[in-house]
Amino acid sequence: MSLRDDWLCTASYIQSVTHNSTSIFAPAATPAQSAYGVSMLVLAITLAIFCVVAGLLLFALLRYRHRPSNSESGQEPAQIYGSNQIELSWTVIPILIVVILFLATTRVVFSTQRAPKPAESIDVIVIGHQFWWEYRYPKFGVVTANELHIPVSDPSHPTPAYLTMSSADTDHSFWVPRLAGKMDVIPNKINVMWMDPSTPGLYLGQCAQYCGTQHAKMLLRVYADTPTQFAAWIAAQKKAAVQDPNAAAGQAVFQHNACISCHTIAGTVATGRFGPDLTHVASRDTIASGSVPNTPANIRAFVDNPAHFKPGVLMPPMHLNEHDLDLVTAYLTTLK
Amino acid sequence: MATQTSAAVVLDQTAKRGPGRQAFEILHDWITTVDHKKIGLMYIGYALFFLIVAGFEALLMRIQLAIPNNTFVSPQVFNRLFTMHGTTMVFFVGMPILFGFGNYLIPLMIGARDMAFPRLNAFSFWISAFGGLLLYFSYLGGDGLYGAGSAPDVGWFAYAPLTARVFSPGHSTDYWTLALLLSGVGSIGTALNIVATTICMRCPGMKLNRMPLLVWLYLVMSMMVFVTISPLTAAQIMLMLDRYIGSHFFDTQAGGSAVLWMHFFWIFGHPEVYILVLPAFGFASEIIPVFSRKAIFGYPAMVAATVAIGFISLSVWAHHMFTVGLGAWGNTFFVFSTMTISVPTGIKIFNWLATIWGGKIHFTVPMMFAVAFLFQFLVAGLTGIMLAVAPFDWQLGSSYFIVAHFHYVLVGAILIMIFAAFYYWYPKITGRMLSERLGKWHFWLFFIGFHLTFDFMHIPGILGMPRRIYTYEADRGWMILNMIVSSGAIFQAVATLVFVFNMIASYFKGRIAGPDPWDAWTLEWSTQSPPPVYNFAVIPTVESRRPLWDLKHPEDPDTNYEL
């Protein structure tokens, strides 16, 4: 590989890192930003400590290595048993460093976890499931899954999203590194976190607490919308499900199978709560909690055998015949 | 003194056994032994076996993670692999290997003929060993009587409610629970034995402040075992009650608390890290002075720092729970306690540095490992400070950064010092030196592999990669890093094979060591290599921390200086 190829390879690698980045060092909201700030401080301090101690160690190893040629090589070096002054100094200096770090940390802990809640914040209820995310917007009467939409927040007129979180089954953890540090999603416990993305865009993340077989593909997608986009999205999600007469056959298949025991499609007999709400499933970019693009082919493959994309998923294979699979796929793709 | 001498004379005249011992006789001898040296060696051998097993599990995981969306193993198998790897390494490698060295060395270092309770010693070993076998028997019996069976897949800290029967049917979790219960009973037994031995069995003149630092570290470590294994055992019993008689301690479906399990587990789990690292500090505190040719710097400060670590480590557990939602005040307390522990730990590093300072450093293989330990433990400590900063931990907790951090402690500090201990005490144990040449190959291969794996493992964590995922998305920029991490694992595996080969080959062909090959200063080097069953023909009397130094340098004995 030539040097130029090498360079191109590195460049494309760096680009891939920044493109779909989930780096904690690319903060895009206040909680991630303040964590980043204190991280830089602690990195600087620890780097300085490393340089001093490792430098001294390296110096001692080189300077005091045994030299067999030396005329006194047979003799033992001077025995030194200790020094109270020196012990005191390397006790007191670390204590001072600890005090500084502790105060800096405490400031960020309180500014993040005790931040006053602005009046116009957006409330979202987050429910972790094996292996997907349920989002409910109680003020708007909207229920959706796996793709969280929140508005960007203007610092002069803050509209942060407050996520009130709990779990329906095992422990999960909500982690979108560019927006905020993680917060665990635990059954029988209510946790709250907030985020105020400053620039519109898609922020990725994933479940960060081992929650069962398919923990790895319990992905997170947070869409930070402009206020107009967000209003439009809410308006679309509030509507009842599309009733396309062309898809009536598919709807019938859906309603005559076990689908309705687990999935809700608002305005129909499907009122299950165990799986994701499918009222507007066709409006989402992905299926299978973010693991594959939302295409008819993927929907068909998923309904046929969910474990094809997500081994260990709790949805069973539906055992539909080819014809019914086509019909159900057609129905689901109308649910804009 | 007189009676002890006469007893030794009698023992010395015991008829030597002929060369033609039957295999059965040897086996019977080892199984029924209550000799601290043989039990120590069985602990070590058993731990080495599991080190190979759990290391192999790590290799399989690294193959799976080398490229995104790999299908080398299924998610079910991967989840079992990380559960078994973690559980095995902590409970059936770390604990037994350290107890093994403790068992072997402590009586020799304090001039005793055996542990205080030899039969308890044997019981503790066998019950721990049974725990390990039970854990692996789950591969056959985990599902119950039907089907192929399966190992536990709940992670080594087995967070509730994943362990509840509804999420973990079959018996795999029960094997995990019982294995830990049994190993815990064994650990408490051996800890009790170590405490009683160090308190009661020291030879004349060996006051507490003349004990070798290794013995001090084992004493503090054993005290910690009492305090920390108990909540773990209690939690295992509560989990069993939940699973079998319908109590609801951790059963969240019926109002139990998942957070309660976390507290129970981490009040054990964090001190456990110090339980594992204190013996490694002990090895360092013996090996570094000998190869720097200087007395340990600041012995009283080292002892004080050890005791401080012992106490403070009991108050830091919820730094594993910064993301659980303890609230700002709860988090602040554990930030403070966790940062505080860096002070005594720092004192230790500085004292080792001062021991080297002004010495004549001999870079033998044990010393090379000890030097690597110093650098790597420094890094592990500093990343630990980063993780103590709660907002940084909200980002880095449960990510690959934390996996890198604790492997820096467990491999970079503890396992590296265990290797150092092997090279240092193997001549005492077998009477033959390990090959320095192979030792250097082992060191450099392992050193390169370790840094390839665990240095680069920090970065995916910073880039948002959580731990315990069997595969990852291709578009996150984690692939090249994971590939480097996986390639390092190969170096470490080869290095370990070199080490095993060295141990076997040197047993037959190594240079004869003699009683004191390193020109060392503690009592174990005063007896033969390997030591006779009774350790010392005459119980020694000591007047300082370095009795052999006093013998070798009558013109300048330690007794002139020590306080």
Q: Which of 362-381 (B) contact A at CB < 8 A? A: 362-363, 371, 374-375, 378-379
List the CATH number of the domain containing A327.
Answer: 2.60.40.420
Task: Please tell me the total count of domains within chain A.
Answer: 2
Tell me if B158 is assigned to some domain.
yes
pLDDT in tens, B151-172: 999 999 999 999 999 999 888 9
**B19 domain-assigned:** no
In this prediction, residue B140 carries a pLDDT of: 84
For residue B14, is pLDDT > 90? Answer: no
Instruction: Give residue-wise pLDDT tens across range B388-419.
Output: 999 999 999 999 999 999 999 999 999 999 99
Which of these, B84, B242, B240, lies nearest to B154 by C-alpha position? B84
Q: How far apart are the first and last CA of chain B?
A: 27
The answer to whether residues B124 and B96 touch, using CB atoms and an 8 Å cutoff, is no
Whether the predicted pLDDT of B310 surpasses 50: yes
Identify the three-state secondary structure at position A185: strand
| Same domain assignment for residues A257 and A223 | no
The answer to whether residue B411 is domain-embedded is yes
Rg of chain B over all Cα atoms, to the nearest angstrom: 24
Which element (helix H / strand E) includes A191? Answer: strand A191-195
> Hey, which residues does A293 pair with through a beta bridge?
A286
Is the Cβ pair B356, A57 closer than 8 Å?
yes
Q: For residue B269, what pLDDT is reported?
A: 95
Range of the domain at B520: 34-547
All residues of chain B having their beta carbon less than 8 Å from the beta carbon of residue A32 are 395
Amino acid at B434: L
Is residue A79 a part of any domain in this protein?
A: no
Please report residues of B whose CB lies closer than 8 A to that of A83: 298
Residue A214 placed within a domain: yes
Residues constituting chain B: 563
Distance from CA of A199 to the nearest CA of B (A): 19
Say yes or no: A158 and A280 in one domain: no
Locate B123 and state its tokens: 């019981």
Quote the pLDDT of residue B486.
96
Whether a cis peptide bond, with omega within 30° of 0, leads into B137 is no
Considering chain B, what percentage of its residues have pLDDT values greater than 90?
90
The residues, ordered by sequence, that sit 6+ positions from B164 with a Cβ below 8 Å of its Cβ are: B242, B243, B250, B251, B252, B253
- From chain B residues 192-231, the ones with a CB under 8 A of any chain A CB are none
A51 Rama sector, left if φ>0, alpha if ψ -120 to 50, beta otherwise: alpha
Q: Are residues A157 and A32 in the same domain?
A: yes
- CB contact A35 to B (< 8 Å): yes
Of B76, B301, B464, the CB nearest to A205: B464
Residues A17 and A120 in one domain: yes
In a domain, B421, yes or no: yes
Q: Looking at the structure, do residues A190 and A270 belong to the same domain, yes or no? A: no
How many domains does the structure of chain B reveal?
1
Q: How would residue B107 be classed by pLDDT, with cut points 50, 70 and 90?
A: very high
Please identify, among A227, A260, A295, the residue that sits at the C-terminal boundary of a domain.
Answer: A227
If you average pLDDT over every residue of chain B, what do you get? Answer: 93
pLDDT for res A68: 80
d(CA B199, CA B79): 44
Comparing B67 with A12, the larger pLDDT belongs to: B67
**Nearest 5 degrees, angle CA B357-CA B360-CA B363?**
105
Chain A environment of B395 (Cβ under 8 Å): 24, 32, 35, 39, 177, 181-182
Asked whether residue A218 falls in the same domain as residue A264, the answer is no
The pair phi, psi for residue B354, each rounded to 5°, is: -70, -25
Task: Tell me: do A176 and A264 sit in the same domain.
Answer: no
Closest chain A CA to residue B358: A64
Q: For the domain that residue B257 is a member of, what is the CATH number?
A: 1.20.210.10
If contacts are CB pairs under 8 Å, which of residues 95-124 in chain A contact chain B? 95, 98, 101-102, 104-106, 108-110, 112-114
Confidence (pLDDT) at B17: 59
In a domain, A96, yes or no: no
Look at residue B399 in the predicted model and tell me its pLDDT: 96
User: B178 pLDDT exceeds 60?
Assistant: yes
Residue A302 in any domain: the answer is yes
Residue B161 resides in a domain? yes
Which of B76, B259, B382 shows the shortest C-beta gap to A50?
A: B382
Candidates B387, B420, B430; CA nearest to B291 is: B420
Q: Do A186 and B399 touch (CB under 8 A)?
A: no
Containing structural domain, residue A273? 245-334
Chain A CB contacts of B472 below 8 Å = 216
Beta strands A147-151; A219-225: pairing state: parallel
d(CA B59, CA B102): 29
Q: Looking at the domain assignment, is residue B313 inside a domain?
A: yes
CA distance B162 to B557: 61
Q: What is the pLDDT of residue A13?
A: 47
3-state secondary structure at position B434:
coil
ipTM, 2 decimals? 0.92
Check residue A245 and give its pLDDT: 92
B391 to A169: CB separation less than 8 angstroms, yes or no:
no
Residue of A41, A46, A62 to mutate, testing the B interface (most B Cβ within 10 Å of its Cβ): A46
Average pLDDT over residues B353-377: 96
pLDDT along chain A (336 residues), means of 10: 48 50 94 96 96 97 86 78 92 95 96 93 97 96 96 94 97 97 96 95 96 96 96 95 93 94 94 95 95 95 94 93 96 95
Distance CA B46, CA B58 (A): 18
Between chains, do A184 and B323 touch, taking CB under 8 Å as contact?
A: yes
- State whether residue B484 sits within 8 Å of chain A by CB: no
Contact yes or no for B176/B67 (Cβ under 8 A)? no
Residues A198, A134 share a domain = yes
Do the Cβ atoms of B396 and A24 come within 8 Å? yes
